[in-house]
Chains A and B, each alone.
Chain A
Amino acid sequence: KQEVTQIPAALSVPEGENLVLNCSFTDSAIYNLQWFRQDPGKGLTSLLLIQSSQREQTSGRLNASLDKSSGRSTLYIAASQPGDSATYLCAVVGTASGYALNFGKGTSLLVTP
């Protein structure tokens, strides 16, 4: 069964710092990997989607990379802002999972002014 791990579980940084969130998965047979943002008690907002054939995707200050062979993805946030404070979730869709999303438990990010 696909296992998705996110490190670190929590992170606190001062405003303006560049930061990297890590995601690893055990089965490299995936269709895609998706990064989400979740504010406390709220829904999931899709940030970036990387297909299995792609190496990275960018949106504004966010850049996500994918190394399928090693089972790793990173989410890079440039010039962090207090508004970036949220939980970031990584999820993969495996080819043997009935197109189910397998989620990591998330990284809780706090950006302090």
Chain B
Amino acid sequence: EAQVTQNPRYLITVTGKKLTVTCSQNMNHEYMSWYRQDPGLGLRQIYYSMNVEVTDKGDVPEGYKVSRKEKRNFPLILESPSPNQTSLYFCASSPASVNGYTFGSGTRLTVV
């Protein structure tokens, strides 16, 4: 089944403890991106990648890192999480064309 898989689904962590949210897609898509969703603010892009080793900042990149060493994987790294990064995170992928995006099921992160 064609899908975008995020792990974990739920995560509670403490301020300053490094964490990684994984994202993997099995559709050979070139484009991958990360979004966060917050009440009243909607979905905002954090980082995106147009292909292996090509990444760029979205609208809200502060406090996040990404890497794209393989086409299928696009992990989101929070090196020193803070409470304002408590949010619902989504990974998405798309072919390098005018096709639409497929989203993962989301990761609910709580930083205390």
How many B residues face the partner with a CB closer than 8 A?
A: 27
Question: CA separation between A99 and B94, bound complex, in Å?
Answer: 9
Q: Which residues of A contact B104 (CB under 8 A)?
A: 43
Q: Which residues of A contact B103 (CB under 8 A)?
A: 36, 43-46
User: Any chain B CB within 8 A of the CB of A62?
Assistant: no
Tell me the smallest distance from the CB of A52 to a CB of chain B, in Å: 7
Residue of B nearest to A32 (CB): B98
Q: Which residues of A contact B58 (CB under 8 A)?
A: 98, 100
Q: Which residues of B contact A101 (CB under 8 A)?
A: 33, 35, 43, 45, 92, 101
Contact for B31 among A42, A49, A99, A106, CB less than 8 A: A99
Tell me the smallest distance from the CB of B101 to a CB of chain A, in Å: 6
Tell me the smallest distance from the CB of A10 to a CB of chain B, in Å: 13
A-B pairs with lowest CB-CB distance, top 8: A49-B100, A44-B103, A103-B43, A43-B105, A105-B42, A31-B98, A34-B100, A43-B106
Chain A residues at the B interface, C-beta cutoff of 8 Å: 31-32, 34, 36, 41-46, 49, 51-52, 89, 91, 93, 98-101, 103-106
Chain B residues at the A interface, C-beta cutoff of 8 Å: 31, 33, 35, 40-45, 48, 50, 56, 58, 88, 90, 92, 94, 98-106, 108
Ordered by A's residue number, 24 sampled pairs between the chains whose C-beta atoms are within 8 Å are A34-B100, A41-B88, A42-B105, A42-B106, A43-B90, A43-B103, A43-B106, A51-B98, A52-B98, A91-B43, A91-B101, A98-B50, A98-B56, A99-B48, A99-B50, A100-B45, A100-B48, A101-B43, A101-B45, A103-B42, A103-B43, A103-B44, A105-B40, A105-B42
